[in-house]
A and B are shown apart, each in its own frame.
Chain A
Amino acid sequence: MNNQSQVGTISEVPASLPSNTSITLKVNGANFTLQIEPRVSLLDALREHIGLTGTKKGCNQGACGACTVLVDGERIISCLAFAVQYVDREITTIEGLADHGELHPLQAAFIEHDGFQCGYCTPGQICSAIGMFNEFQNGLPSAVTKDISAGAGEFSNEEIKERMSGNLCRCGAYVGICEAIREAFETEVTR
């Protein structure tokens, strides 16, 4: 809450000159205190202010998913998020997925299944798929789920494709991406 008290209220801040704000972002378990303007996106805060350039800027308008990160385990796109809205949250980027040098099983599966060509969309694809699988395990249905009232349905290719539709791959590595996601998570499906 300390960070919040440093955020100005409207009456304190002249409309013509919004001042820099001091915020602390918790990224991959470490705290980063930044002096930034409110208009800085979470994406730019991660890349330009903290130096974590694994998260990519693709369209910068919410269409491509390259900037996907996890916040408290949920996937979001960091380009349409203001950093000031994400204090006191657990932010995880692609740099935070490996465990003491050992790749996350999904990272390993992407290599195994050629889930990329140029690699630009990959950090977003991987963060998105981890969030997607959490949603599936929590029973969230999708637009292609046959019986919405019953929950998440089968962990099928059709479901994976629909649930991952917010992440574009211009190289067209979708087949490998789907195979990698399936292999990494199939055994974990608790249903």
Chain B
Amino acid sequence: MKNFAYSRAENAPTAVNLISQNAKAKFLGGGTNLVDLMRENIEQPDALVDVTGLTFNQIEELADGGISIGAAVKNSAVANHRTIRERYPFLAQAILFGASGQIRNMATVGGNLMQRTRCFYFYDEAANCNKRRPNSGCDAIDGFNRMHAILGTSESCIATHPSDMCVALAALDATVHVEGKNGKRAIPFNAFHRLPENTPHIETDLQPDELITSIQVPALGFAKNSLYRKLRDRASYAFALVSVAAALEVENGIIKNVRLALGGVAHKPWRAFEAETALAGVEAKAETFSRAAEAELANAKGFAHNRFKIELAKRTIVSVLSELAEKGGAR
């Protein structure tokens, strides 16, 4: 690993100031992704600004019923927060389906958003990767692409975003609060991560000097009836082939409210807007769930080794919504 200068920031302005002094500096959180990428020489920062000691390590309940999660809060602390477990069970679930117990104790919420893809070709220095080396090509498109994306892909990149937590946050319409040289701003969750288009190396809307300070999750009463399901090649400790985060409210057999997002299928946590539109106000039953799934996957594009994901995503959507309809009292 290339050596680097290490410093610790005590507050956000200091952190932003330190990062602004060096174009090749990066923030360091729990390190569970960055340290690995540095060891592989994929990331080669000159300096790291440790932001785990910042004061953003609290989970606060907001007056409007929402919740604010500090960026330095550990993943396991979010999963074990009583209010989160009760109000947003699928958020706690999504976290618990990701990584291992040890990694969840280290990884921060802000760092979870900044994870980079686990595409094999991105990790392999001998391979072409537009994300690692812009305009070098993408070896995944004609390569072994079982883990790769089926939605929102481009001719430059078919990588997926690896996070589970972010899938639930996408469904919840969370807001990412950041602080930079030019002050503070709030980024809607769906605008935070980007699709690859022809610049797959630019993965988020975050500017180089900006630090994530908190994630705000709005009040969403019906999220009490929510579920995260993850399909993977091993029973545990593996990245998703497909995952579904959903919250559903049914009244007199009719869908009153629904939120749906998919993981393992795109360059970003995929909010299923098409399916949500198809589900609004219709009867909560397998046929309508299936129609919504078809609508969401209508533009899906499979590659040699991942075409199965299209059908897998549809069936998982139907299965998760059916289970929620049953739990949520559809009659």
Residues of A at the B interface (CB closer than 8 Å) are 4, 7-11, 13-16, 18, 21, 37-39, 41, 60-62, 65, 68, 74-77, 79-82, 84-85, 128, 131-132, 135, 138-143, 145, 148-149, 151, 161-167
Residues of B at the A interface (CB closer than 8 Å) are 1-8, 18, 21-22, 24-25, 28, 31-32, 35-36, 38-39, 46-50, 52, 76, 79-80, 85-86, 89, 92-93, 96-97, 99-103, 105-106, 230, 235-237
Specify the chain A residue showing the minimal Cβ separation from B34.
A80
Interchain residue pairs with CB less than 8 A apart (10): A9-B18, A10-B21, A39-B1, A77-B100, A82-B31, A85-B50, A131-B102, A132-B101, A138-B80, A141-B80
Q: Which of A15, A131, A148 sits near B105, CB closer than 8 Å?
A: A131
What separation, in Å, do the CA atoms of A68 and B305 have in the docked complex? 35
Residues of B within 8 A of A74 (CB): 76, 105
Most buried by A among B35, B38, B79, B103: B35
Q: Which of A11, A140, A163 sits near B21, CB closer than 8 Å?
A: A11
Residues of A within 8 A of B86 (CB): 149
Residues of A within 8 A of B237 (CB): 165-166
Besides A77-B100, A128-B101, A167-B100, 17 new A-B residue pairs in contact (Cβ under 8 A), listed by A number: A15-B5, A15-B47, A16-B46, A38-B4, A62-B36, A68-B102, A75-B105, A79-B35, A80-B36, A132-B101, A135-B80, A141-B79, A143-B93, A143-B96, A165-B101, A165-B237, A166-B237
CB atoms of B31 and A85 under 8 A apart: yes
Specify the chain A residue showing the minimal Cβ separation from B9.
A9
Q: Which of A76, A132, A139 sits near B80, CB closer than 8 Å?
A: A139
State the main secondary structure of chain A at its contact with B.
loop
State the main secondary structure of chain B at its contact with A.
mixed
Residues of A within 8 A of B93 (CB): 143, 148
CB atoms of A65 and B85 under 8 A apart: no
Specify the chain B residue showing the minimal Cβ separation from A163.
B101
A-B contact number at CB 8 A: 141
Shortest distance between the CB of A63 and any CB in chain B (Å): 8
What separation, in Å, do the CA atoms of A86 and B89 have in the docked complex? 32
What separation, in Å, do the CA atoms of A162 and B46 have in the docked complex? 38
Residues of B within 8 A of A162 (CB): 236
CB atoms of B31 and A80 under 8 A apart: yes
Which 4 A-B residue pairs are closest in the complex by CB-CB distance?
A166-B100, A165-B236, A38-B6, A13-B5
Query: A82-B35, A141-B85 are contacts. A15–B24 as well, Cβ < 8 Å?
Result: yes
Shortest distance between the CB of B125 and any CB in chain A (Å): 15
Specify the chain A residue showing the minimal Cβ separation from B77.
A140
Specify the chain B residue showing the minimal Cβ separation from A150.
B85
Shortest distance between the CB of B102 and any CB in chain A (Å): 5
CB atoms of B6 and A80 under 8 A apart: no
Shortest distance between the CB of A123 and any CB in chain B (Å): 13
What separation, in Å, do the CA atoms of A181 and B235 have in the docked complex? 20
What separation, in Å, do the CA atoms of A74 and B76 have in the docked complex? 10
CB atoms of A81 and B22 under 8 A apart: no
What separation, in Å, do the CA atoms of A7 and B6 have in the docked complex? 7
Residues of A within 8 A of B80 (CB): 135, 138-141
CB atoms of A81 and B106 under 8 A apart: yes
Residues of A within 8 A of B31 (CB): 80-82, 85
Specify the chain A residue showing the minimal Cβ separation from B86.
A149
What separation, in Å, do the CA atoms of A60 and B25 have in the docked complex? 24
What separation, in Å, do the CA atoms of A162 and B80 have in the docked complex? 16
CB atoms of B105 and A10 under 8 A apart: no
What separation, in Å, do the CA atoms of A15 and B6 have in the docked complex? 10
Residues of B within 8 A of A80 (CB): 31-32, 35-36, 103, 106
Query: A61-B36, A80-B32 are contacts. A165–B4 as well, Cβ < 8 Å?
Result: no
Residues of A within 8 A of B52 (CB): 85
Specify the chain A residue showing the minimal Cβ separation from B6.
A38
What separation, in Å, do the CA atoms of A151 and B86 have in the docked complex? 10
Residues of A within 8 A of B7 (CB): 7-10, 13
CB atoms of A10 and B101 under 8 A apart: no
Residues of B within 8 A of A85 (CB): 28, 31, 50, 52
What separation, in Å, do the CA atoms of A7 and B24 have in the docked complex? 19
